[in-house]
Chains A and B, each alone.
Chain A
């Protein structure tokens, strides 16, 4: 179990490096979707099924569609090849930095004698998601409704044709 999780985490980090390094924006968006898929597998493995389903359908699905649409609606201009090449050259140092950061953190965390043990809340463990979400997070649910409302208005304000000066 632990081995699988660590393998998934390594995949996740590699996915994020790929997302940054890709020349093409469509590929970056797709590797973002890949990150979401791996994240949702991690959620499944840790027993967080509702979150996993949402992550898989909304983040890996909907957000990718939004990004791919945006990329295809904004057709690149003539100099695009050069621009993307320049960008790739700019971020080419990333893998080195990532390796340094990873090793550094590993040294600090193992040498530093940290004890990140947290108290496990036994009473909370048995509570179901439905109970917690619908009963104790009412403020957040109202917030979600308002956010979705705002999203609907966003589409009206940003995409509605015809009344632009």
Chain B
């Protein structure tokens, strides 16, 4: 088995794990959004490698550009919601919201 393939798989899995770990451990809204971005980077890495190894680079580039556009808009919406929450109650801690438990 190709050592480059191994390296890409391991790197993608490790970045994915780092992102998920941050997601589970953090309660700060902005940090959660950053964690989502880290997870998306791992996914982008998989797609880059996929396009490279099956020779379909044109298609993988089309995918990645679309993903980047979607990612940016999600980041803007998420930070927008976080800022609106901060304006409402002066804090970004998700645990302190909990108005919906029941």
Contact = CB atoms under 8 A, between A and B. Distances in A.
In the complex, A touching B, CB below 8 Å? yes
Given A47-B57, A151-B76, A137 B62 contact: yes
Interface class of chain A by DSSP: helix
Nearest to B82: A70
Contacts of B5: 116
Nearest to B13: A105
A153 to B, nearest CB: 10
Interface residues on B, range: 35 or more
A63 B15 contact: no
A115 B1 contact: yes
Interface in B69-102: 69-73, 75-77, 79-84, 86, 90-93
A128 B2 CA distance: 27
Contacts of A150: 73
A51 B69 contact: no
A51 B64 contact: yes
B84 to A, nearest CB: 6
Interface of B: 1-11, 13-15, 17-19, 21-22, 25-26, 28, 30-31, 33-35, 37-38, 41-42, 44-45, 48-49, 51-62, 64-66, 68-73, 75-77, 79-84, 86, 90-93
